[in-house]
Amino acid sequence: MNASNRQMTLRRYPEGMPQESDFQVISGAIPDIADGQVLGRAIYLTVDPYIRVHISPSMSIGYAPTTPLGAPIPGEAVLRVERSKHPDFREGDYVAGFSGWQDYAALQGDALRKVDKRLAPLSAHLGALGMPGLTAYAGMTKLSEAEAGQTVFVSAALGGVGAVAGQLARIKGCRAVGVSSSAEKCSYAVETLGYDACLDRTKQDFAEQVAAACPNGIDVNFENAGGPVFWTAMQNMNAYGRVIVCGLIAVYNEDAPPAGPDLSQDLLRAIALKRLVVKGLMVADFWSLRPQFLEEVGGMIKDGRLHSKEHIVVGIENAGVAMMEMLSGRNFGKTVVRIADD
């Protein structure tokens, strides 16, 4: 056990894209645990787009407060149990829980889930088998109404959520069309993840490429990005299509709405004319799906039909940079930070 508890905290709230100097590693005490708690030692930290929302005072949202300056940045982690005062856990167990970006945390046992190393590597339990994977699974199985032969469009196609959404679409017999930010990532999406097509959003002719890749239009837009990619998808939506609003990574760095014109009324108009159904997705509504999800998606990973691709950054001191890279699309897969050996 380290002598201290390293914590990656906010020195100040980022304005726009976070800078390395917005973050600061401090040293805290290793906490005691009370009855019902376990002491967890984090091995992998998650770096998810939604965390950007929690470190902005102007975007504080309902389900979680803004992170105070000097406190560990929030997020899920995979941890090893070091000590337990909860009957379900003992030293050496692997668990996942919301411990934030720090080495050690005292966690309520009842809020933890066990992590099964045999199902997939520990890092995948923050990715395809973790909250992002469950998010994708909930969206595809409960909200999308996707049917075999339909076209499912996935922005952030290699991200934690997108990669699973696209693969589930493909496994369901849909045409899976993804969006990413480089030729290399798009090749991986097609060759390894099995997308039918993946378009590079940085290309000048991106809109034409999307239209060409969706000759029968888009039936489901699994929206992880927002911004221009969202509007390109809208141009291709079929009547009665579904838009699942899961994430808006393209605008998470913005403290204020983008400059005009105001397209909100055009969006409403398009929804009416195409009879779209636009649904908000938050994984917190779907915790009860987890057993079914682990069995189904765990099985797909085991038999090689579904891949979990983590972008692994090493060292808690690099967690802030890992977030900056993820927000600008310089990651390759779901970003996690390894801060200890398992």
Confirm or reject binding of residue 274 to a copy of itself (CB under 8 A): yes
Q: Under the phi-then-psi rule, with left for phi > 0, alpha for psi from -120 to 50, and beta for the rest, what region is 81?
A: beta
Confirm or reject binding of residue 227 to a copy of itself (CB under 8 A): yes
Helix, strand, or coil (residue 159): coil
Confirm or reject binding of residue 285 to a copy of itself (CB under 8 A): yes
Q: Which residues contact 18 (CB under 8 A, 6 or more apart)?
A: 52, 55, 253, 320, 323, 324, 327
Confirm or reject binding of residue 148 to a copy of itself (CB under 8 A): no
Minimal distance, residue 154 CB to a copy of itself, in Å: 16
Q: How far is CA 227 from the centre of its chain?
A: 17
Taking CB under 8 A as the criterion, the residue among 107, 245, 297, 322 binding a copy of itself is 245
Max Cα–Cα distance, the chain, nearest Å: 62
Q: Which stretch binds a copy of itself (CB under 8 A): 8-16, 84-92, 100-108, 257-265?
A: 257-265
Taking CB under 8 A as the criterion, the residue among 62, 92, 215, 291 binding a copy of itself is 62
> CA 102, CA 201: separation in Å to the nearest integer?
35
Minimal distance, residue 287 CB to a copy of itself, in Å: 14
Taking CB under 8 A as the criterion, the residue among 132, 223, 331, 338 binding a copy of itself is 223
Taking CB under 8 A as the criterion, the residue among 29, 92, 273, 341 binding a copy of itself is 273
Q: What is the DSSP string of 304-342?
A: TSS---EEEEE-GGGHHHHHHHHHTT--SSEEEEE-S--
Tokens 């400059």 belong to: 259
Size of the site for a copy of itself (CB under 8 A): 41
Looking at beta carbons only, is 11 or 279 nearer to a copy of itself? Answer: 279
Instruction: Indicate the helix (H) or strand (E) that contains 197.
Output: strand 197-200
Q: Which stretch binds a copy of itself (CB under 8 A): 10-18, 105-113, 276-284, 329-337?
A: 276-284
Q: Taking a C-beta distance cutoff of 8 angstroms, is the pair 119, 129 a contact?
A: yes
Q: Which stretch binds a copy of itself (CB under 8 A): 4-12, 171-179, 199-207, 224-232?
A: 224-232
Residue 293 structure tokens? 């999800």
Minimal distance, residue 159 CB to a copy of itself, in Å: 15
Taking CB under 8 A as the criterion, the residue among 261, 288, 304, 341 binding a copy of itself is 261
Tokens 């998606």 belong to: 297
Taking CB under 8 A as the criterion, the residue among 268, 295, 314, 340 binding a copy of itself is 268
Taking CB under 8 A as the criterion, the residue among 119, 267, 289, 312 binding a copy of itself is 267
> CA 131, CA 121: separation in Å to the nearest integer?
15
Confirm or reject binding of residue 272 to a copy of itself (CB under 8 A): yes
Q: Which stretch binds a copy of itself (CB under 8 A): 18-26, 90-98, 146-154, 219-227?
A: 219-227
Q: Which stretch binds a copy of itself (CB under 8 A): 15-23, 72-80, 203-211, 271-279?
A: 271-279
Q: DSSP assignment, residue 31?
A: P
Count Cα neighbours of 333 within 13 Å in the Cβ-side half-sphere.
Answer: 17
Looking at beta carbons only, is 195 or 230 nearer to a copy of itself? Answer: 230
Tokens 């509007």 belong to: 231
Rg (CA), the chain: 20
Burial of 172 by CB count in 10 Å (0-12 exposed, 13-18 middle, 19+ buried)? middle
List contacts with a copy of itself (CB under 8 A): 61-63, 223, 226-227, 230, 245-248, 250-251, 254, 256-269, 271-282, 285
